[in-house]
Structure 1
Amino acid sequence: MKVLTRSGNPDVARALANIVWLGLERLTQIAVAIVISGLLARYLGPDAFGKWQYANTLLLVIAPITWVCGAEILVPTIVDKPPAQTGAVLGSAFVLRMGVSVIALLLTWTWIGLGGTDPVVGAMLAGLAVTMLFREPFIGVINAWLQSMTYSKPQLIASMTTAIVKAALVYALVRMAAGAASFGWLWALEAAAIAGALVLYYMRRHGGALGWRFDRTLFKHFASAGTVFWIGLIGMYLFLKLDRLMLAHRVSFAELGLYSAAQQLNENWIALALMLSQTIAPAFVYRVTETAQLRRNLLRLFAMTAALMIAGAAVLDALGGFIIARVFGPNYAGATDIFRWAVWLSVPAGIEAIGNLVLLKYQARYVLLSKWLLALAVAFAVNVFAIPRFNGYGALIGLAAGYVAAASVNFYYIRFRLRA
């Protein structure tokens, strides 16, 4: 690690060190996700595991509601403001996010109480939904501050530690033959632990005091300027989870469990591209002012991301049968082919994530909104045709079509914005 800090460019050194920690965290999360998925899949069985995955899908559709004033607004604001204003920036963002998160949680619990979904799914979702109180108001705000410094190590260490503890607790609950609904509360406990650790770290870096304060002007700016990005992010996550939402109305929960098992492993791999783009954005995109240098950086990032995603997908494709059998057991053999096709979605997903950085740099919120609405519409149209004919494979075709549509908008904007 010390070798990385000897680079002549401090931004490059920080970014490289950040990438190392990112890699360690992602490997840890992938390992933990594999262990937990295997434990739950074998313990719950395909039907209940399908319900567990559907509850997680519902959470990931609801959670973007709490993403008002996202990192694409918050990180550039922290970078642009003097250090004395950091407390006001973070405090104003916290008030806005916490208010929205409380409302989202209460609406979710009300919907569950009124019988809006399967009772078992609702019981699982009730605990999972509590994570909204910690993820964006605490973890998201402090992580934006860390991203602004290209220094995600504290968040990554907290995430790795709590993930390992969560895996141990899942194993304990399985041995105790706990009810399916109890597992959702472990995710809430994990989010609370990460939030507490990051708050303590922030306070230690600021003389033992949190120092966050509410600023009406910043609050209004975040609420208004972030709205278009916010709606765009909701569209993005609807697109990412549209496959399972539409499959749930066409197949049984057991079949959904097979598809979700494959996709859960795949999404941990795709998340690498998204986290990689986040950690390199400040040094290689956001802080670059010369158009020619930015173009060169983007070409390198596109090439690096494509090479990484292709190499990884090839390995996962070759080992698909082995991975599914070892993680989920013989009852999930039907997930193998889905997984082998799904891993190749990481290539367009990674390319799209890098292109998206330019939209965020120039705050092209209406382009971002249009992009994800287009991707959502394309995926929906393809799913309507493909899912009844090909089931899970049809859902993968819809995702691929949506990624291509989103990446096409990115390339068009980059060509327009960075023209010589």
Structure 2
Amino acid sequence: MLTLKGLSARFANPDVTRAFANIVWLGLERVTQIAVAIVISGMLARYFGPDTFGKWQYANTLLLVLSPITWVCGAEILVPTIVKRPPEQLGTVLGSAFALRLSVSAAALLLTWTSIAAGLTDPLVGAMLAGLAVTMLFREPFVGVINSWLQSMTYSKPQLLTSMSTAVVKAALVYLLVRAATTPSRFGWLWALESAAIGAVLLVYYIRRHGGTLGWHLDRSLFRHFATAGTVFWLGLICMYLFLKLDRLMLERAISFANLGRYSAAQQLNENWITLALMLAQTIAPAFVYRVQEPAHLRRNMWRLTAMTAALMIGGAVVLDLLAGLIIRRVFGPDYEGSIGIFRWAVWLSVPAGIEAIGNLIVLKYQAKFVLLAKWLLALAVAFVVNLLAIPRLGAYGALVGLAVGYLAAASVNLYYIRLKLRS
């Protein structure tokens, strides 16, 4: 039994104290980002109107589908490499990862700009995406690499504090641009400026921590290792994000941009709710999943976490369902009445989404990369077929059906893997 004395001794451990402080900062950053995202969406939705806001949301959807391409050599590869290598090799590790991510990000950006120039998107969507896409050049090469170094020390405060500060400044600048009646096509460059600012601040912080020099070097063998290691996880993440945004990609071909704007408004609020709820539920997950080795104990913990998450999601969905009209009108204004019904149904997606996320902890614990890839490939394929059948008949509500069936398919794969892995 854990006594008060034992608890005090545990928190006296500097590693535990550092980890706890890191979790607190992570929570503050997530809450800040969610609040800022809602405020900014409300301002832009009212300023743009449903049609232009739909194009803005579609440009962001395209960005979120393209961004995972730049996630090569993810933190699950880079952080352990930093920890295992001696300190004098840090510059070589970070330099090699930076070179790889920068080259991939630059290629993704050029591909995006080429597609826009070729007229593959609506002109206004393309103009918005042109600025938004520049974030890829800074997020993973600069912010991602330095953040991996900070994670290796269990000290993400500099990155999180910078991210919170720039988010608040961005909200203020959006307000000023709206008051100045800035054309919608220019707003994307504000997101590019934010990512560049975060990258610059973190780069200066790293240099100051290392005697005023960067000291990054490229090692070709390490570059090749980073390019191939974690490929399956990388492909799995690409499939996951494509699944999460497939509804908007397919709706764009079936409904007007104004209705897409109303659908996206509802879904953005719903996704923020899911993110916040999962963050609260998963904060305690490492202690109950990653550090537990005995199968029977782990199985019990999984059932408890799943039940807790389901209860949290159901309770939240009930409240949001009841308050849907008030929330939509307060955040987005009277032009988004059509979002209310969509939001009332969308919030119930949080239940299968939460159950899937908890089950995914076992997949991550045992680094089951092919299970991860197969799961999201299945969810993507199932959602695509359901969308093809349901969207022509049900419109935006058909896309919600596709998401629900996809989440259930992914959760089923998790359940099968858990039963196989943790069987007595």
Fold shared by both chains (TM-score > 0.5): yes
Summarize the Cα distance change of 1:299–1:159 in structure 2 as closer, same or farther, 3 Å threshold: farther
Taking only aligned residues, the RMSD between alpha carbons, in angstroms, comes to 2.7
Q: Residue 231 of structure 2: which of 227, 230, 233 is its match? A: 227
Flag the structure with larger Rg: 2
Instruction: Give deviations 1:262-306, integer Å, cap 9, x for gaps.
Output: 111122222335656887677665566665665565455444443
Give me the whole-angstrom Cα distance separating, in 2, the residues matched to 1:402 and 1:395.
Answer: 11
1:334 matched residue in structure 2: 338
Q: Residue 361 of structure 1: which of 358, 365, 377 is its match? A: 365
2:203 matched residue in structure 1: 199
2:316 matched residue in structure 1: 312
1:400 matched residue in structure 2: 404
2:165 matched residue in structure 1: 161
Instruction: Give deviations 1:6-32, integer Å, cap 9, x for gaps.
Output: 736655544443333233222222221
Give 1:123-272 correspondences, 5 Å limit: 123-272=127-276
TM-score by length of 2: 0.90
Give me the whole-angstrom Cα distance separating, in 2, the residues matched to 1:402 and 1:297.
Answer: 25
Instruction: Give deviations 1:202-245, integer Å, cap 9, x for gaps.
Output: 33444444343323333222211222222211111110000001
Summarize the Cα distance change of 1:300–1:87 in structure 2 as closer, same or farther, 3 Å threshold: farther
Q: Which runs of 5+ in 2 are unaligned?
A: 1-6
SS at match of 1:170: helix
2:3 matched residue in structure 1: none
Instruction: Give deviations 1:294-320, integer Å, cap 9, x for gaps.
Output: 556545544444344334333322322
Shift of 1:134: 0.9
SS at match of 2:121: coil
Give me the whole-angstrom Cα distance separating, in 2, the residues matched to 1:293 and 1:84.
Answer: 41
Shift of 1:326: 0.7
Summarize the Cα distance change of 1:202–1:285 in structure 2 as closer, same or farther, 3 Å threshold: farther
386-395 or 82-91: bigger deviation = 82-91
**2:53 aligned with 1:41:** no
Q: Across the two proteins, how many residue pairs are aligned to each other?
A: 418
Give me the whole-angstrom Cα distance separating, in 2, the residues matched to 1:77 and 1:201.
Answer: 21
TM-score by length of 1: 0.90
Instruction: Give deviations 1:97-125, integer Å, cap 9, x for gaps.
Output: 11100000001101100111110000000
Q: Which runs of 5+ in 1 are unaligned?
A: none
Shift of 1:185: 0.3
Summarize the Cα distance change of 1:351–1:212 in structure 2 as closer, same or farther, 3 Å threshold: farther
2:190 is aligned with what amino acid? L
1:31 matched residue in structure 2: 35
> Is residue 281–residue 309 contact of structure 2 (8 Å, CA) maintained in 1?
no
Instruction: Give deviations 1:26-70, integer Å, cap 9, x for gaps.
Output: 222222112111111111111111000111111111111111112
Shift of 1:4: 9.8
Give me the whole-angstrom Cα distance separating, in 1, the residues matched to 2:316 and 2:23.
Answer: 17
Give me the whole-angstrom Cα distance separating, in 1, the residues matched to 2:80 and 2:421.
Answer: 19
2:330 is aligned with what amino acid? R
Shift of 1:360: 2.9
Give me the whole-angstrom Cα distance separating, in 2, the residues matched to 1:320 and 1:90.
Answer: 46
Give me the whole-angstrom Cα distance separating, in 1, the residues matched to 2:149 and 2:291.
Answer: 15
Summarize the Cα distance change of 1:99–1:277 in structure 2 as closer, same or farther, 3 Å threshold: farther
Summarize the Cα distance change of 1:297–1:142 in structure 2 as closer, same or farther, 3 Å threshold: farther
**2:7 aligned with 1:7:** no
Give me the whole-angstrom Cα distance separating, in 1, the residues matched to 2:229 and 2:278.
Answer: 23
Instruction: Give deviations 1:327-362, integer Å, cap 9, x for gaps.
Output: 111010110121122122223223322332332333
Shift of 1:81: 4.2
Q: Identity across aligned pairs (percent)?
A: 76
SS at match of 1:117: coil
Summarize the Cα distance change of 1:43–1:17 in structure 2 as closer, same or farther, 3 Å threshold: same
Summarize the Cα distance change of 1:272–1:7 in structure 2 as closer, same or farther, 3 Å threshold: same
260-269 or 234-243: bigger deviation = 260-269
